[in-house]
Amino acid sequence: MPYTLLFVCLGNICRSPSAENIMNHLIAQAGLSDRIQCDSAGTASYHVGSPPDRRMAVAAQRQGLTLRGRARQFTTADFEAFDRILAMDRENFNNICALDPAGNYRSKVQLMCDFCTRHTLQEVPDPYYGGSEGFNQVIDLLFDACEGLLHDVNQQLATSKML
């Protein structure tokens, strides 16, 4: 059974699909596509069914990535379906946790920037209303966070194999 990751932002057209696609790229490079699976979702339903934002796709293309996927909204079923849920910012984190008032799944929810090793930002900024530089910054930040996350997941998988 593969280890599952869910990346969550507000509308699921900029940050979370970028994180999903970057992570899938890194997972494939590491030869772990059969062991780790990714998805993304948004806390809001604004863009359900939409492809990733065109400006985000351009920024990803500059790094050699093609953004794939269609926006969907986060649901309570995702708590059971995923091993880790990665929120792009504190507001996303709080919105996810609000759907779990008993706190049964709280240990699965983490902030994406907690895995950065080169950047010091605590949250992935939403580039939606900004210029192209914001999209480039988000791609760079997410590469850093995804590399750290993959290292963390690899350690967890290695440890669980030893049990």
15 carries an active-site annotation: yes
* CA-atom Rg of the chain in angstroms: 15
78 carries an active-site annotation: no
Neighbouring residues of 37: CB distance < 8 A, sequence distance ≥ 6: 2, 3, 4, 5
Among 15, 55, 72, 84, the one annotated catalytic: 15
Among 78, 126, 144, 146, the one annotated catalytic: 126
Among 9, 14, 116, 146, the one annotated catalytic: 9
SS3 29: helix
14 carries an active-site annotation: no
| Degrees, nearest 5: CA angle 11-114-67 | 40
d(CA 17, CA 104): 26
SS3 125: coil
Q: At what angle do helices 132-162 and 15-29 cross, to 10 degrees?
A: 50
- Strand partners of residue 42: 9, 73
Which residues are known to be catalytic? 9, 15, 126
